[in-house]
Amino acid sequence: MRILLLEDDADLAEVVALGLRDACYAVDAVGTLAEAEELLRTTDYDVACLDLGLPDGDGLGLVDRLTRDAGLRRPRRVLVLTARDAVGDRVDGLDAGADDYLVKPFHFAELLARLRALARRSEGQGSVLRVGDVELDPAAHTARRAGADLALTAREYALLRYFMYRPGEVLSAEDLLEHVWDANADPFTASVRVILSRLRRKLGDPPVITTLTGVGYRLEAAP
């Protein structure tokens, strides 16, 4: 899952971005509306976490424009992160188009829980993801196949989680690079193939991730 984090407090942005990356999310962090809009014109995000009080304007305007400006790629979900805690502010944020609203200061565990809830809402999944005999628990950060624990690296786990949210969909290498890797990652899709090969080896037989030559990859229940 790739996240856009718009936060003008550099220290807070660094802490939140590091925590999210430790939880196997890909994160692009920016501090101004202009930077956020530049990314939103070229990059597809699963979630945007947006502050409201910013040095170059009000983030609420960006939340509203995401539903009206065809030049902006609206993330699947929008989460407002702000110090504005009045009921009216919450109502304004949700009415502008946000999917959730979290007031600062917040516990990081709650932010992670809300991100998991937004992912479930987007994909219609339960709290534990299951495809065939593969099971992934985003809250416990565990993955199993046929009841056996899988020892996955952070990138392997993030890749499997993205597949698990989209069972049966054909995902290109570019799709995977866009949503599982962030702007600091190796830009060559060969890195996708390397991590995918390792993940397949750990998942074992029979294979559950199939290759459609020239098209992409698909996660499906093993026969």
* Digit-coded pLDDT (tens) for 94-105: 999 999 999 999
- Among 9-18, 168-177, 180-189, where is mean pLDDT lowest? 180-189
Region of residue 48 (phi > 0: left; psi between -120 and 50: alpha; otherwise: beta):
beta
Q: What is the mean pLDDT of residues 90-114?
A: 94
* Digit-coded pLDDT (tens) for 22-36: 999 999 999 999 999
The percent of residues in the chain predicted with pLDDT above 90, rounded, is: 77
Name the segment(s) of the chain with CATH classification 1.10.10.10.
Answer: 129-219
Homologous superfamily in CATH for domain 2-123: Response regulator (3.40.50.2300)
User: pTM to 2 decimals?
Assistant: 0.80
Distance CA 212, CA 116 (A): 29
Q: What are the backbone dihedrals phi and psi of residue 24, each rounded to the nearest 5 degrees, phi first? A: 75, 30
The C-alpha torsion from 22 through 25 and 30 to 36, rounded to 10°, is -170
Sign of CA dihedral 166, 113, 111, 141: negative
Which one is the CATH code of 129-219: 1.10.10.10, 1.10.357.10, 1.25.10.10, 1.10.3720.10? 1.10.10.10
Name the segment(s) of the chain with CATH classification 3.40.50.2300.
Answer: 2-123
Q: What is the mean pLDDT of residues 8-18?
A: 95
- Please tell me the predicted confidence (pLDDT) of residue 131: 92
Mean pLDDT (the chain, rounded): 91
In the three-class reduction of DSSP (H, G, I as helix; E, B as strand; rest coil), residue 189 is classed as coil
Sheet with 26-30, strands from edge to edge, namely 26-30, 2-6, 47-50, 77-82, 100-103
Contact 3, 47 (CB under 8 A): yes
